[in-house]
Amino acid sequence: MEIDPTISKDVLMRLKRARGQLDGVINMIEEDRSCGDIVTQLAAVSKALDRAGFKVVATGLKQCWEDGERAPMSAEELEKLFLSLA
């Protein structure tokens, strides 16, 4: 399955944001910041990664729906991808 360039741009933006957040978490740990602050930022990183993954899976679902002749992935493959994010 190929990702539409506009979708891949959005996914890359989300992943880069998550990378920046993760760098921030690493800095927070190195600076001995509070556990609450660290966990809050880890949750933000996790959510950003989840959203990127869901965007990719949603793109696959949409492509399968629109292209009934040559689906890029089977329903089982898409389900497996989706559940891997849960």
Give pLDDT tens digits for 13-35.
889 999 999 999 999 999 999 99
Q: Determine the pLDDT at residue 74.
A: 72
User: In this structure, what CATH number is given to the domain that contains residue 73?
Assistant: 1.20.58.1000
pTM: predicted TM-score of the whole model, two decimal places: 0.69
The whole-angstrom separation of Cα 69 and Cα 48 is 33
Domains held by the chain: number: 1
Phi, psi of 69 (to 5 degrees): -75, -45
Domain, as residue range, for 77? 5-84
Helix residue spans in 1-86 (DSSP H): 5-30, 35-66, 75-84
The whole-angstrom separation of Cα 49 and Cα 28 is 19
Q: What is the mean pLDDT of residues 52-70?
A: 71
Give pLDDT tens digits for 62-77.
766 666 555 566 777 7
Q: Determine the pLDDT at residue 1.
A: 55
